[in-house]
Amino acid sequence: MKELKVAQSAGFCFGVNRSVGMAEKLLEDKGMCASLGQLIHNEDVVRELTSKGLRVIERADEARPGEDVLIRAHGAAPEVYEELQKAGAVIHDATCPKVKAIHKIVTAAKEKNRFTVVIGMRNHPEVEAICGWCGEHKVLENAAELEQWLDENPCYWEKPITLVVQTTQTNSNFTECCNVIKKRCTNPEISDTICLATSTRQEEAARLASDCDAMVVIGGRHSANSVHLAEICREHCPCVEFIERADALDMDRLKTADTVGLTAGASTPAWIIKEVRNKMSDEIKVEESAVEKEKSFDEMLEETLKTIYNGDKVTGVVVAITGTEISVDLGAKYSGFIPTSEFTDDGIKVEDTVKVGDTIEAVVVRVNDVEGTAMLSKKRLDAAKMWNAVEEAVDNETVLEGVVTEENKGGVVVNVKGVRVFVPASQTDLPREADLAQLLKKTVRLKITEVNKARKRVVGSIRRVAQAERRERIENIWNEIEVGKKYHGTVKSLTSYGAFVDIGGVDGMVHVSELSWNRIKNPSEVVKVGDEIDVYVIALDPEKKKISLNDDFVDTYITAVTEQEDAMPITF
Ligand code: F3S
């Protein structure tokens, strides 16, 4: 063997690391605790924890009153929590936040009377727990099963169906199932709930397996993600060794391989990976790959478990979206989540802005070391960025957009991506006595006129933008207007001699005699304010901005809708 390539994503995932950490802390603090089921699919780790005082129980009613009981990363059904409470146990919930996100999705589906399809291994504890949170549901393992079930039950074709997938399933199985359900069902809602730690590991394993002559996969036989890793490697490499620990490795099988890849499931601790690696290095002269020369294995592990702090700017990938939060994979020790209230203040629906798989930036608001979660805020990061933009906007006279969120005596407050901009009543572009409440929740365009960052005071003007836009519209109209041109306009006011019609920023007058083929005495006989009508230009004088009238017409000026300075005469 000339080269050993170790997968960077090998070993404990965030969820497993967190649950083992919680068990170790409990054992350190209290000397004993219980886990409901095997804490992780790795006998060595469980044996070590058991030697320190961990008791593995199979059913909730085995818990003793007052006993600290860990719910493992796979999660548990709601009735399990109830039973543990009934038994008097103290619950420590180590459910992986990514699994919790699935519980939320299926709970929401249940509330909306949607049927849930769970793609996953029927008897796997994660899948069993998910089912506990579902309403009506069906577990199916692959696309073939899904297709057969739909063939046999056409009544589900038009039912609202929510599809979720076990976190450790392969992307290819999920994609095939999506294709089937999209083809057959008219109202499916699909959530890609495969854990990014899993898909990253699988993609890296597939790449390594394609590049190597042999692959070593370390993981428990009962570990779904390890079994899938071995399957993926077999698809790309003819020689795959699937082992639980170093002493099971048959070195003879690797002797003819020039390049060997090494990866491990999410429940394999770093020390077992090291043991296997050392065994390979000891028995055969390994020339380390360039990647390994640059970074030690410990450094690589540390990188995947990096710590984050309040106030840090982080980038992650959206892994789930529920009605209340967006789960974000940060590739760190912590699982990130953005409450929908911390996403944006613009009133935009989360689903319209981001989707699962998108990369998202946010700022860390609160790290919870016990739960291993980090609450994030996108709107606060947007606001910080916006402060810079707002300061620049004063100098550059940039037009910004925001939503009116408050109305007070002096004016209104506009939220411009998290920055509160005060617009005095005189700058709202409404008439003096108008009710400012009519602007509430409306999107407005404004210019910033004053910024005082220290006092967090920003003042803006909607009027300046509106005036400039009106001038532009008027100029455009005068540039292209000609006798005979047709416009669609709105009747703004009536006089005894005619109707004033707004043709898009400029008012023109239709003389009473031009309003109808029949003789009428007053314009109100045929039109009223607010009517939309088609009109033709019959005379104009662009030079003097004055109307040159036929004898039949009343000589008048036409005033543009804004101010006297914008006044421009035109007639139809
Ligand atoms: Fe959680 Fe993903 Fe691990 S779902 S337990 S981080 S494989």
Between these two residues, 400 and 289, which has the higher pLDDT value? Answer: 400
Produce one character per residue of 294-330: b if its CB has 16 or more CB atoms within 10 Å, e if not: eeebeebbeebbeebeeeeebebbbbbbbeebbbbbb
* pLDDT for the residue 162: 96
What is the CA(198)–ligand 1 centre distance, in A?
7
Flag whether pLDDT at 537 surpasses 90: no
Residue whose CA is closest, atom 6 of ligand 1?
A: 15
Flag whether pLDDT at 295 surpasses 80: no
Residue whose CA is closest, atom 5 of ligand 1?
A: 15
Question: Rounded distance, CA 276 to CA 190, Å?
Answer: 40
Per-residue pLDDT tens over the stretch 35-45: 999 999 888 89
* pLDDT for the residue 350: 82
What is the CA(12)–ligand 1 centre distance, in A?
9
The Cα-based distances of 421 to 380, 428, 511 in angstroms read: 15, 12, 45
75 with 124: CB under 8 angstroms?
no
For ligand 1, mutation pick of 14, 124, 263 (most atoms within 8 Å of CB): 14
Identify the weakest region by mean pLDDT among 243-257, 429-443, 514-528.
Answer: 514-528
Q: What is the mean pLDDT of residues 543-568?
A: 36
Flag whether pLDDT at 319 surpasses 80: no
Question: Rounded distance, CA 68 to CA 52, Å?
Answer: 14
pLDDT band at residue 427 under the 50/70/90 scheme: very high
| Catalytic pick among 67, 126, 147, 244 | 126
For ligand 1, mutation pick of 9, 12, 13, 169 (most atoms within 8 Å of CB): 13
Question: Rounded distance, CA 521 to CA 519, Å?
Answer: 7
pLDDT band at residue 504 under the 50/70/90 scheme: confident
Most distant pair of Cα atoms in the chain: their distance: 111
Neighbours of 466 (CB within 10 A): 18
Residue 538 has what DSSP assignment?
-
Question: What percent of the chain clears pLDDT 70, i.e. is strictly above it?
Answer: 88
Residue whose CA is closest, atom 1 of ligand 1?
A: 15
What is the CA(468)–ligand 1 centre distance, in A?
55
Flag whether pLDDT at 286 surpasses 60: no
Decide if 126 is catalytic: yes
184 with 232: CB under 8 angstroms?
no
Ligand 1 contacts (CB < 6 A) are 13-16, 73, 96, 98-99, 167-168, 195, 197-198, 225, 266
What is the CA(13)–ligand 1 centre distance, in A?
6
* pLDDT for the residue 551: 27
Neighbours of 176 (CB within 10 A): 17
Average predicted confidence (pLDDT) for the chain: 84
* pLDDT for the residue 74: 94
What is the CA(332)–ligand 1 centre distance, in A?
12
pLDDT band at residue 544 under the 50/70/90 scheme: low
Segment holding 47, helix H or strand E? helix 43-51
Q: If you search the block for the tokens 């998202």, which residue do you land on? A: 360
* pLDDT for the residue 560: 31
Per-residue pLDDT tens over the stretch 207-227: 999 999 999 999 988 888 899
Question: Rounded distance, CA 361 to CA 381, Å?
Answer: 8
For ligand 1, mutation pick of 98, 267, 356 (most atoms within 8 Å of CB): 98
Per-residue pLDDT tens over the stretch 86-97: 999 999 999 988
75 with 53: CB under 8 angstroms?
no
